[in-house]
Homo-oligomer: A and B are copies of this chain.
Amino acid sequence: MDDKLREKLFAQGRLAREAARKLGLMPAEAKNKALLAMAAAVEEQERDILAANQIDMENARGKGMSGALLDRLLLNSQRVKGMANALREVAILPDPVGEVVRMWTRPNGLQIGQIRVPLGVVGMIYEARPNVTVDAAALCLKTGNAVILRGGSEALQSNLAIIKALGQAVAGSKLPEGSFQLIETAEREAITIMFEMRDFLDVLIPRGGAGLIQAVVNNSRVPVIETGVGNCHIFIDESANPQMAEEIVVNAKTQRPGVCNAVETLLVHKREAEKILPGLGRRLVELGVEIRGCRLTQELLPEAKPATEEDWETEYLALVLAVKVVESLEEALNHISRYGTKHSEAIVTSDYQRARRFLQEVDAAAVYVNASTRFTDGGEYGLGAEIGISTQKLHARGPMGLETLTSIKYIVYGDGQIRR
């Protein structure tokens, strides 16, 4: 263990704890004012931010980083504007802190209520995209949480420039020092130290690829909210409207294939397969999708390559689709139970009972009837903003809006009651 780094991070943790105590009591007005000042600062310091991003981009190219990763890392004038707008959008959302979720009176006269409070200090571990720095700072500030940010080492210069702008925007304001802090090192050991910071972090939220998320889940002593991995399925039932089924599958696979709510495996009822697969398959192939199918799929669609066991397990995040013809809804449910990652699952059907059964029996964060899996998103759900998509069951499940960054406390009004 690097004791010096550890001491530094623990000092950041102590500062965050102190800040959180004050932040939790800050009225919405003051938080919103800070968010708007931060938005202005990001725009004003665009040149510095882009110059810092240029350094990150050159280093990344020098290390031979792939095109997709480079694109995530890249900032330009439009993206900086997008970050500023994200801050403004969070500013106008309602503040969940202080909401009395419910309140009731007991027979002895005690009035008992649950009031929404911040979690305290949030730790975020993420990868190349610098806009996560802004989003996380905004969502945590809005909910009265302090946040310690650990972005990807490849984005360090960009993140330093962003945090500098955000920090200058609120210097001299009522926002306590340490409300948002970046871990200012590229050393990987910083993550391992964060895992141990149970005294300073109330929750750790990893955002990124499966490798990062698993490393956090398996090693953190701080409670984690698991996000993101989505091996999502669409099941076309025998009663499906073929046109609707085709549009939904094409949308879920091709509209944005690199994200967690894109479909990865298509299950087709055998009575529907002959009618649907040839046309749908051709259209997907024309859109550049590689099909990997079971034996029956291959018979109906000569372009299909054979699917292996591995295909059923894979989140491609690319223009690849595994296709399996199934005997029944039962088989589809079993396949999803076995290979799904409990993210987003959809059925296309016109049958009432089977729609109902699918909704009841599929165990996932989001279960759809006759809609694209791509809708699993805080904005699309109307939650206003999103810190990630939880695939676990504790605390938060599905798209995580502002409320998921809060807890409750019981407040009890008495008149001298004692327990008998």
Contact = CB atoms under 8 A, between A and B. Distances in A.
Interface of A: 21, 24-25, 104, 106, 110, 112, 117, 119-120, 198, 202-203, 217-218, 221, 223-225, 241, 244, 247-248, 250-252, 255, 337, 359-361, 363-372, 374-376, 380-382, 392-395, 397-399, 407-419
A246 to B, nearest CB: 10
Contacts of A221: 217-218
18 contacts: A21-B337, A25-B361, A106-B381, A110-B375, A112-B381, A117-B363, A119-B394, A202-B392, A203-B393, A247-B416, A248-B418, A250-B418, A366-B409, A369-B413, A371-B417, A394-B407, A395-B395, A397-B410
A26 to B, nearest CB: 11
Contact of A368 (B247, B370, B374, B414): B414
Given A202-B393, A203-B394, A392-B223, A409 B24 contact: no
B365 A410 contact: yes
B411 A367 contact: yes
Contacts of A359: 411
Of A337, A395, A418, the most chain B CB neighbours within 10 A belong to: A418
A15 to B, nearest CB: 16
Contacts of A393: 117, 119-120, 202-203, 407
B25 A409 contact: no
Contacts of A395: 394-395
Identical copies of this chain, number: 2
B398 A409 contact: yes
A377 to B, nearest CB: 8
A419 B251 CA distance: 7
A410 B397 CA distance: 8
Of A372, A380, A411, A419, the most chain B CB neighbours within 10 A belong to: A419
Nearest to A359: B411
A202 B371 CA distance: 29
Contact of A382 (B104, B244, B409): B104
Contacts of A413: 369-371
Contacts of A407: 393-394, 397
A365 B409 contact: yes
Contacts of A21: 337, 363
Contact of A419 (B360, B363, B375, B382): B375
Closest 4 CB pairs of A and B: A371-B414, A251-B418, A393-B407, A395-B395
A198 to B, nearest CB: 8
